């Protein structure tokens, strides 16, 4: 059994992304920049955004947060996105989800021009991903594929079972694993016999958000288990902690590879966002247009 932590991979990725940022800064005379939009004050969203801004700062990427109260009118958020679409110093735009009711996530996300869609959540980007065309792919799905590649997990022909069908993780990951020639099953809240489906997986990815959801009866001996869940919990001594979907202690002995929570998929998501921002900046700088 090997624990697939993000830390060594991030260490390996740092020189390359730093060099790209340096080169971009030298050529364009400015840093790559990402604009982050938050509506309301969901504590998890606030923490995620702070993590993204800290990582950007460390790499030399500029970031700016636009925070709105929960009761903001949809038109105000849309107007901000339209302004950012046109702003030459901004390379990427991210709207942190979930958005509070009655805001329409899909409608708001689709106002971002695809060239600046660094989270990979617009209809155009997801359509490109579906077709297997080049795009800024959603960060968590990208991070998972990178982790698997780094561990030299042979994906071709393997059965990958994804639990969860969200637009952020499950669906884009299904496409990316298909492109890696996996056989893909997507299980969800209406699926029957989920444990049996999961036990057929060579690669099991859980993105449910329910602590302890994946128990040993879900896992085939020698499987690779990727835990995307992030839930807040309390350890027995009362201190707050973050836990994943997988009962790590019980499941780990069965696995070839397993990701920890925290320190597995989460940091990879942030790193792939940084990669997407640099990618978008380079593309726009090299003449790609951000029209609308
Ligand atoms: N909320 C939880 N994860 C994500 C993410 O990867 N992107 C966005 N935009 N919102 C999220």
Ligand 1 atom closest to 139 (CA): 6
- Catalytic site residue 52? yes
**Do 222 and 256 meet the contact criterion of CB atoms below 8 Å apart?**
yes
Sorted by where each begins, the domain ranges of the chain are 28-114, 139-267
- Beta strands of the chain (E only): which ranges? 2-3, 33-39, 62-68, 92-95, 159-163, 183-187, 203-206, 224-227, 231-234, 240-243, 257-258
Compute the CA torsion angle 2, 169, 176, 266 (nearest 10 deg). -40
Phi, psi (degrees; rounded to nearest 5) at 163: -105, 115
Residues 6+ apart with CB under 8 A from 145: 173, 176, 177, 180
Domain 28-114, second-level architecture: 3-Layer(aba) Sandwich (3.40)
116 catalytic residue (yes or no): no
- In tens digits, what is the pLDDT along the chain, a chain of 292 residues? 999 999 999 999 999 999 999 999 999 999 999 999 999 999 999 999 999 999 999 999 999 999 999 999 999 999 999 999 999 999 999 999 999 999 999 999 999 999 999 999 999 999 999 999 999 999 999 999 999 999 999 999 999 999 999 999 999 999 999 999 999 999 999 999 999 999 999 999 999 999 999 999 999 999 999 999 999 888 888 888 999 999 999 999 999 999 999 999 999 999 999 999 999 999 999 987 665 4
**Does the annotation mark 33 as catalytic?**
no
| Dist. CA 95 → ligand 1 center (Å) | 8
Spacing, Cα 253 to ligand 1 middle (Å): 31
Place of tokens 């359509």: 127
Helical H runs in 65-117?
74-86, 105-109
Is the CATH number 3.40.50.720 carried by domain 139-267? yes
Indicate which residue's Cα is closest to atom 7 of ligand 1. 96
Residues with CB under 6 Å of ligand 1 are 94-97, 119, 139-140, 168, 269
């Amino acid at each position: 059994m090997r624990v697939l932590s993000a830390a060594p991979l991030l260490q390996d990725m740092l020189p390359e992304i730093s060099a790209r940022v340096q080169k971009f800064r030298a050529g364009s005379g400015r840093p790559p920049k990402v604009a982050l939009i938050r509506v309301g004050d969901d504590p998890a969203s606030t923490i995620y955004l702070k993590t993204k801004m800290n990582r950007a700062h460390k790499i030399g990427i500029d970031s700016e947060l636009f925070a709105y109260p929960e009761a903001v009118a949809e038109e105000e958020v849309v107007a901000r996105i339209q302004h950012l679409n046109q702003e030459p110093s901004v390379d990427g735009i991210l709207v942190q989800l979930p958005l509070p009711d009655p805001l329409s996530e899909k409608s708001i996300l689709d106002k971002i021009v695809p060239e600046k869609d660094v989270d990979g959540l617009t209809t155009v980007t997801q359509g490109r991903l579906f077709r297997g065309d080049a795009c800024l792919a959603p960060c968590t799905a990208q991070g998972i594929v990178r982790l698997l590649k780094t561990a030299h997990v042979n994906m071709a022909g393997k059965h990958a079972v994804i639990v969860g069908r969200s637009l952020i993780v499950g669906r884009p990951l299904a496409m990316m694993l298909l492109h890696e020639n996996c056989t893909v099953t997507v299980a969800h809240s209406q699926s029957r016999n989920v444990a049996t489906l999961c036990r057929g997986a060579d690669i099991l990815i859980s993105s449910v958000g329910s602590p302890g959801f994946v128990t040993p009866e879900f896992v085939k001996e020698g499987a690779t288990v990727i835990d995307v869940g992030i839930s807040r919990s309390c350890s027995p001594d009362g201190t707050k902690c973050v836990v994943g979907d997988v009962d790590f202690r019980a499941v780990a002995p069965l696995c070839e590879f397993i990701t920890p929570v925290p320190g597995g998929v989460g940091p990879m998501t942030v790193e792939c966002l940084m990669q997407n921002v640099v990618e978008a900046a380079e593309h726009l700088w090299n003449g790609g247009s951000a029209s609308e």
